[in-house]
Structure 1
Amino acid sequence: MSTFERYLTVWVALCILVGIALGHFFPGFFQTVGAAEIAHVNLPVAALIWLMVIPMLIKVDFGAIGKVREHWRGIGVTLFINWAVKPFSMAALGWFFIGYVFAPYLPADQINSYIAGLIVLAAAPCTAMVFVWSNLSHGEPDFTLTQVALNDTIMVFAFAPIVGLLLGLSAITVPWETLLLSVSLYIVVPVIIAQLVRRFVLADGNGEALTRLLSFLQPLSLVALLATLVLLFGFQGEQILAQPLIIAMLAVPILVQVYFNSGLAYLLNRAAGETHSVAGPSALIGASNFFELAVAAAISLFGFHSGAALATVVGVLIEVPVMLSVVKIVNSSKGWYEAGAGVQRVARERGSA
């Protein structure tokens, strides 16, 4: 992890302060930016989102899906957590904390929007940072690559239906045209562009060219993310200044779902007998979110001023420190994990094969 990535939480916090200050002193600029849209898609933000998402998708080798059989236990657990547990557990946590526990302290007209943002945040598994988390947890690289490629493929087809279903269950009006447009703009098109670029760069069979390209694009991706956050907080500033505890209250369900989903994935892998080098990244992939996509979708669906956009940004704010804590837990518990009956049984089976 680069120094810039390691201190991402610090940069996000600074963007909050800068965005609030600029929004207060230069409201006309932010109104102009907010009005630059076509079919509910804000053009400046769309450009920034592409700069965020495409470099991360260039890393993904969809050919790795063919290796799914090698780590079928870990793949099965992670898919179960990502698509059958995480979006629904986040919706439940949002309904409980935002819709009930903290409701008296939040603006009533934004409660549904906050819940919607949490749902959008949890509906897309992380694509880029999981490579960092996997490396830090001494994870199996082939498993991580296979899982990310498989998740991204599923996301093209499952993101919109899951978000639509959970928003509907939350009695939130689903803007289907905008939702499908967001999927096309921020998932389908970037995947196509990224894979074309990847294929072109690798055409000479030299992986060094791809490494150089990614080292150039990755800082641009993070700068685009921070610029988007400045714009968001330029619009959200007045609401935050009026109720500064909003961010802390939105962080609670996100924190709970990260530890719940990572812990559940870790335990299921242990029971299934998967190796620790697969269980670690499985737990981390199961808990982390594709927050770049979530921010883009929330802005497209509900606008800059919405509680949904703010909720997704809170996910960005706490992503790095929380995931680093999960990495520490995974690494420190390796001995306990490998002493599990399921792990021992599968190890014996592999040894006798």
Structure 2
Amino acid sequence: MAKNIGFFEKYLSFWVFLCIIFGILLGKFLPDLPMYLSNITLSGVNIPIAVLIWFMIYPMMVKIDFSAVKNLGKSHLFKGLSITWIINWLIKPFSMFLIAYFFLVTLFSGYLELLPLELAKEYVAGAILLGAAPCTAMVFVWSHLSKGDPLYTLLQVSTNNLIILIAFAPIVGLLMGLSNIPVPYDTLFISVILYVVIPLVFGYSSRIYFLKNKGIEWFEKRFIPKLNNISVFGLLLTLILLFSFQGDLILNNPLYILLIAIPLIIQTYFIFGISYMWGFKWKLPHNVCAPASFIGASNFFELAVAVAISLFGIESGAALATTVGVLVEVPIMLSLVKLANLTKRRFKIV
């Protein structure tokens, strides 16, 4: 079993590529199925995707030992939270805006004349939505793949979910130059419940049940190893659904997809680089530094896509930009996971 898991995760980029292609083709040739699934929503949250995200998050949640909460006062945990708070809310949204505006408006629209100006501004709006929404669900997958601390990962996601409720709308409004931007707060709250609260309660409850009835040896040596592929399967099925929803937009705009992707790729590596080097200089353990860097580098794309569609429409440039964010994020984040794992030995051991 372990050998199969290693092989599967080793070639995860290949499976991701196949699932993206399959999702686009599914939306092209069997459009009724993704259309039906895309309509199963609750306050802007797609329920089928939420279920798949549970599969991604549950293996992480069930590993959390809450008796370790007493260790949260350790300096390296607070340092990790400090990095993610500062990067996610004082640097990332503004660097995303500056990088996207330079490439899409100044360079591609102004100097090279590859984009209509109004369309370029819509793409910038989509980039802003991505930049103001740090990752909530997928960071559990990246943390799992890099053997990040499950309890720390949960802690940083929980605190960022609280901050996003307060900071998202003002930051988006400021960067878009608008005074009143309608943000679907019900989507925010329900997303937190679906992507964090429900899998956490289920994971904790099942952990207590299995430890009590099966014992710690069965739990750690037989049950946990069986969960190792569940997160990855959830990720791949989520990609198939997302790209089946947006396949036509991608196929009809190949050049624009490339132009949007450039600033998003630069932004992702830039934010990860700052966080990772900061954590290294602060002598954080790798299992804290890695998830602290992943959460800012990746995005809460479910929220960004939902708000883009709500504000600008499903066929808008902003909606397309947020979808491109999903397209480029997964392979880039896999490369960052690989980089984090390759450099793990340089970090202190706690």
TM-score scaled by structure 1? Answer: 0.73
CA distance in 2, matches of 1:279, 1:40: 34
- How big is the shift at 1:246? 2.6
Deviates more, 1:320-329 or 1:249-258: 320-329
SS at match of 1:106: coil
Alignment correspondent of 1:195: 200
Deviates more, 1:204-213 or 1:161-170: 204-213
SS at match of 1:127: helix
Alignment correspondent of 2:146: 134
- How big is the shift at 1:296? 5.1
Q: Give yes or no for contact 2:264–2:325 (8 Å, CA) kept in 1.
A: no
CA distance in 1, matches of 2:7, 2:200: 28
Q: Give yes or no for contact 2:19–2:236 (8 Å, CA) kept in 1.
A: no
- Counterpart AA for 1:128: F
Q: Give yes or no for contact 1:86–1:286 (8 Å, CA) kept in 2.
A: no
Deviates more, 1:278-287 or 1:309-318: 278-287
CA distance in 1, matches of 2:264, 2:31: 30
Alignment correspondent of 2:157: 152
- How big is the shift at 1:25? 4.1
CA distance in 1, matches of 2:200, 2:181: 31
1:295 corresponds, among 291, 302, 313, to: 302
- 1:234 equivalent to 2:244? Answer no
* RMSD, aligned CA: 3.7
Deviates more, 1:312-321 or 1:25-34: 25-34
- 1:79 equivalent to 2:88? Answer no
- Counterpart AA for 1:196: V
Alignment correspondent of 2:49: 48
- 1:248 equivalent to 2:255? Answer no
Structure 2 gaps of 5+ residues are none
- 1:330 equivalent to 2:343? Answer yes
CA distance in 1, matches of 2:10, 2:314: 27
Alignment correspondent of 1:119: 128
1:316 corresponds, among 329, 332, 345, to: 329
- Counterpart AA for 1:254: L
Alignment correspondent of 2:105: 99
Alignment correspondent of 2:73: 69
Q: Give yes or no for contact 2:146–2:341 (8 Å, CA) kept in 1.
A: no
Cα distance, 1:307–1:154 mapped onto 2, change above 3 Å: same
CA distance in 1, matches of 2:122, 2:245: 15
CA distance in 2, matches of 1:281, 1:192: 23
Across the two proteins, how many residue pairs are aligned to each other?
319
TM-score scaled by structure 2? Answer: 0.73
Q: How high is the sequence identity, in percent, across the aligned residues?
A: 21
Q: Give yes or no for contact 1:232–1:310 (8 Å, CA) kept in 2.
A: no
The 5-angstrom pairing of residues 175-194 of structure 1 reads: 175-176=182-183, 178=184, 180-194=185-199
Structure 1 gaps of 5+ residues are 136-140, 339-346
Cα distance, 1:219–1:13 mapped onto 2, change above 3 Å: closer
- How big is the shift at 1:31? 5.2
Q: Give yes or no for contact 1:95–1:115 (8 Å, CA) kept in 2.
A: yes
- How big is the shift at 1:298? 0.8
Q: How big is each residue's C-alpha offset from its partner over 1:15-61, in whole Å with a ceiling of 9 and x where there is no partner?
A: 44444444444556555555x3667637xx42223322454155243
- How big is the shift at 1:322? 3.2
Q: Give yes or no for contact 2:101–2:124 (8 Å, CA) kept in 1.
A: yes
- 1:14 equivalent to 2:18? Answer yes
SS at match of 1:56: helix
CA distance in 1, matches of 2:274, 2:105: 25
